[in-house]
Amino acid sequence: MLRIGVTGGIGSGKSTVSRRLGELGAHVVDADAVAREVVEPGEPTLGRIRERFGDTVIRQDGSLDRAALAAVVFPDPQALAALDAITGPAIAERVAQRRATVPRDGVSVYDMPLLVERSLWVHEHLAVVVETDVETRVRRLVEQRGLGEDDVRHRIAAQATDEQRRAAADVVLDNAGTPNDLVRAVDALWHDRLQPYAANLARGARSRRPDRASDCVVEPRADWEARAERVVARLAAALAATGVVTEVSHIGSTSVPGLLAKDVIDVQVGVRALADVDRPDVRAALVDAGYVFSHGNHSDTPHPQGAPASDWVKRFLGGCDPGNHVHVHVREHGSAGWRFALLFRDWLRHEPAERDAYAAEKRRLLAQHDSSADYVVAKEPWFEGAWQRANAWAERTGWQPR
């Protein structure tokens, strides 16, 4: 199933987004609703809250006095952290139980205010952030919910900043307009990205770029590094429990500032032994993260010419997200292919003249080849010389892979 995390600051309108996604067919789990359930009378979580914060946060009927608790924790970061430590595990367990019932081809939406603060976004295929300026949020909460302005500002201050949410966001929905504007934006997201993404996951199909080379190679984009950072973080989180990974790195042309490239994020996963990738738990973790193995692509071109092909083998996977094309190259740590991927990136980053020469070669070949596949093959002779020059640079500068 496709996992979508929806978040936003208090009063941003994220509940409107989640509600509309539910109307479109998604299975929505509301973290706030679950949080209320786990502190109902008789729940073990409520007893732990009482032990930590005292009887003043409990009403006479034995229920939680949420306003009293909020007055204690929101102005005090340590108290808020203590509350999170009590409620977080109980909420996570119940949320996981409900999401486990979603059909394989379904869309599971997790409406979670603290998705970014708790770094839970790394476990979602996509993070959707609903954004509204602070003053508008304050006005809405005071006028529509009857909250005090000081209380609202304390709550906003205790949450992530807009900048922190944007860093984690695959999609930002601007809720500065009318409610209908927001609904239309959600509908477009559903039809253009979420439904195709869910379908790709269900049938094990990776997203595809246009075949025309001139259509898929673009000028440098400002969002490449941020997109790559999210991919790296998610892959690292997905594979952490397997114990096979040495590092996850952004590589390829999109990792070099100022270089035109195919609009594809290339990521290298270094592993201790390539055979580990064939373990069931490793393969399952990669598939669950949204990546599909491509069995026809299992080796890079060896450099220099005549080098042993065995040192350039890899596993290759493609991402299922139609809104962010990703290629994952899994290589054995220390292998020639692994080393060159990192060296090539760092060499071009530090040598602008070489970066510009590579860009010129790309433009020359784009003028000659219409097919993306032909364009990729035509670049190989240039890479042989690049390998020689990059290694000379590494020897001259003392470069070592990080």
Domain ranges for the chain = 2-203, 214-397
pLDDT tens-digit profile of 183-230?
999 999 999 999 999 999 999 999 987 777 666 789 999 999 999 999
DSSP element (H, E) containing 130: strand 126-131
Of the candidates 12, 157, 7, 194, the one whose C-alpha atom is nearest the C-alpha of residue 76 is 157
11 annotated among ligand-binding-site residues? yes
**If you write DSSP's letter for every residue of 287-335 in order, what string do you get?**
HHTTEEE-TT--BPPPSSTT--GGGGB-EEEEE--TTS-EEEEEEETTS
- Position 87 pLDDT exceeds 70: yes
- Position 387 pLDDT exceeds 90: yes
Of the candidates 265, 195, 260, 196, the one whose C-alpha atom is nearest the C-alpha of residue 230 is 265
> What is the predicted pLDDT for the residue at 211?
72
When mean pLDDT is compared across 69-73, 225-229, 242-246, the lowest value belongs to 69-73
Mean pLDDT rounded to a whole number for the chain = 93
Dihedrals phi, psi of 82, to nearest 5 degrees: -65, -40
Superfamily of domain 214-397: Beta Polymerase, domain 2 (3.30.460.10)
> What is the predicted pLDDT for the residue at 214?
65
Give the β-pairing of 171-174 and 126-131: parallel
> What is the predicted pLDDT for the residue at 172?
97
Q: What is the mean pLDDT of residues 110-133?
A: 94
Class of domain 2-203: alpha beta
> What is the predicted pLDDT for the residue at 138?
81
